[in-house]
Amino acid sequence: MQGVELQFECHLKQKGSQSWTPVRVVVVPPQLATELRNFTEFNRHKTKKGSKRFDLAHPKYGMDVQIRYNASKRPQSYSVQAGEQTELSEEELNYLYYPLDGLRPESVEAAKKEWETIREKLVTEDDERMEKPSHTEDDEDEDQSQKRKYR
């Protein structure tokens, strides 16, 4: 896997595989990532070379975390609490992991197209459907460039 250094050997789930795994890929918002990173700062253990900090996902020195999500708060709020520190079992070490090195962000064009397909399904706080604007900023830019061409 490029860009990710795993601290143990793992098995990767192949695309199209029907194999079951409890491992899930989730989006981690910046606020939650910061809180998880803070836990890593305190996850220190004594080794032969002295005290060392370990990642939360380390197979021997990692730890469980409990994450609570409160959608009623604006902006959405996450609270993280330290859970039990246990070494991963042989079964857990054999779970299939998703290869994330092939994921790429979508293009701006694809995002705009997707936005247009979901815009009409969204409802505002007033229970009214969002209307497609008749004139967008992109249209204004195009109009300005057209005016410049024909002057």
Determine phi and psi for 60, rounding to 5 degrees.
-105, -45
Same domain, 90 and 28: yes
Q: How many domains does the chain have?
A: 2
Segment holding 78, helix H or strand E: strand 77-82
Predicted confidence band at 7 (pLDDT cuts at 50, 70, 90)? low
Same domain, 46 and 65: yes
Q: What is the pLDDT of residue 151?
A: 41
DSSP 3-state of 9: coil
Same domain, 92 and 120: no
The mean per-residue pLDDT over the stretch 46-69 comes to 87
**117-126 CB contacts, 8 Å cutoff, 24+ apart:** none
Q: Which domain holds residue 129?
A: 108-142
Give the pLDDT confidence of 129-138 residue by residue, as tens digits: 555 555 555 5
The mean per-residue pLDDT over the stretch 6-13 comes to 73
Predicted confidence band at 39 (pLDDT cuts at 50, 70, 90)? confident
